[in-house]
């Protein structure tokens, strides 16, 4: 199984499987490292680290002596990240501890690089989390956030869906948008927060704010034999076996109602987003299914202002 964590009662457990290892192109990470002078970075904080994927991806572009601390609000992930680092032989560079992103247990001006990946989509007030990231960054230090616009995925077509009735396509958009609004209204985070992160960086006092798009897509193409595609197929099959969409059915309904949806319309919308399963299974068996794997994922960077006279 590509995701050993999928049934754990910990945040984001469905999304810490092997597919996460394929979110970035290595040459893009190296380019980012050159653009932001990673060679000058010695101390890194990975906020909302999960099992440690993001900082371990960045580490390939960091100096060999750079030290990384990862923090997460869930002890499960602190333990798993620690074990993962040990299994990869990088415990001398990475250590993990429990912490809330909105109240980091570090002094001011502690790190050269403070970063997160898909953290801000889970916090009630991303401005507060960003302010904490800025606080613990050194003057002139880099704050770097990888955050998505997830609702855009509802309009990414695949080889089966382009000719579906417009109403069916828009039903999926409606369900996802209302759920994202509901999730945000409940204080559980905005799944498309990437759109507003650049403005939040400016509001936090960061300078030289720049925005890039992740150039990686997760294309799914016949004969589905590459390791990345096998991981994607196994993840999809697992979601199907547990009646899971972006969220499980109960959470989807909870978010939908909080976003202004009507309970009477939910079953039809849920069926609409789930009824392509049989078509998908047949198309994969026939090796006729494909999609580009496109997504809208931002990499937002800003510098903490240097102290006057420095």
pLDDT at position 284 over 60: yes
How high is the pLDDT of residue 308? 57
Kindly report, residue by residue over 203-246, the tens digit of the pLDDT: 999 999 999 999 999 999 999 999 999 999 999 888 888 889 99
What fold characterizes domain 1-149+192-216+295-310?
A: Rossmann fold (3.40.50)
For residue 74 the two structure tokens come to 């869930």
Percentage of the chain exceeding pLDDT 70: 98
Percentage of the chain exceeding pLDDT 90: 85
How high is the pLDDT of residue 259? 98
Least confident of 67-81, 180-194, 275-289, 291-305: 275-289
How high is the pLDDT of residue 279? 85
Residue 237 vs residues 17, 156, 242, 284: alpha-carbon distances, Å: 13, 20, 9, 12
Q: Where are the domains of the chain?
A: 1-149+192-216+295-310, 150-188+220-290
Kindly report, residue by residue over 111-144, the tens digit of the pLDDT: 999 999 999 999 999 999 999 999 999 999 999 9
Task: Residue 117: name the closest of 193, 203, 61 by CA.
Answer: 193
Residue 288 vs residues 29, 148, 235: alpha-carbon distances, Å: 32, 29, 19
SS3 content of the chain, % helix, strand, coil (to 5): 45, 15, 40
When comparing pLDDT for 5 and 177, which is higher? 177
7 pLDDT band, cuts 50/70/90, is confident
Three-state DSSP state, 68: strand
> Long-range contacts: 237-241, Cβ < 8 Å, 24+?
238/1, 238/3, 238/6, 239/14, 240/277
How high is the pLDDT of residue 309? 47
How high is the pLDDT of residue 310? 45
């Amino acid at each position: 199984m590509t995701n050993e964590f999928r049934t754990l009662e910990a945040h984001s457990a469905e999304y810490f499987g092997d597919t996460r290892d394929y979110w970035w192109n290595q040459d893009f990470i190296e380019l980012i490292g050159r653009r932001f002078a990673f060679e000058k970075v010695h101390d890194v904080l990975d906020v909302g680290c999960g099992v440690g994927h993001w900082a371990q991806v960045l580490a390939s572009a960091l100096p060999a002596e750079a030290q990384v601390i990862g923090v997460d609000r869930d002890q499960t992930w602190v333990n798993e990240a620690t074990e993962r680092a040990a299994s990869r032989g990088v415990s001398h560079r990475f250590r993990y501890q429990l912490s809330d992103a909105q109240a980091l247990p570090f002094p001011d001006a502690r790190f050269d690089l403070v970063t997160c990946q898909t953290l801000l989509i889970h916090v009630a007030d991303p401005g507060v989390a960003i302010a904490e990231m800025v606080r613990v960054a050194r003057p002139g230090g880099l704050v770097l956030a990888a955050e998505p616009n997830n609702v855009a995925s509802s309009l990414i077509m695949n080889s089966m869906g382009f000719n579906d009735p417009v109403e069916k396509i828009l039903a999926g958009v409606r369900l996802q948008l209302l759920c994202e609004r509901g999730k945000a209204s409940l204080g559980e985070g905005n799944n498309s927060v990437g759109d507003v992160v650049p403005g939040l960086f400016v509001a936090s006092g960061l300078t030289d704010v720049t925005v890039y798009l992740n150039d990686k897509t997760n294309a799914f193409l016949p004969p589905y034999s590459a390791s990345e595609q096998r991981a994607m197929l196994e993840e999809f099959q697992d979601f199907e076996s547990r009646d899971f969409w972006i969220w499980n059915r109960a959470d989807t309904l909870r978010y939908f109602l909080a976003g202004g949806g009507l309970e009477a319309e939910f079953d039809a919308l849920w069926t609409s987003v789930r009824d392509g399963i049989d078509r998908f299974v047949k198309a994969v068996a026939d090796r006729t299914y494909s999609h580009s794997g496109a997504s809208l994922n931002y990499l937002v960077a800003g510098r903490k202002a240097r102290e006057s006279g420095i």
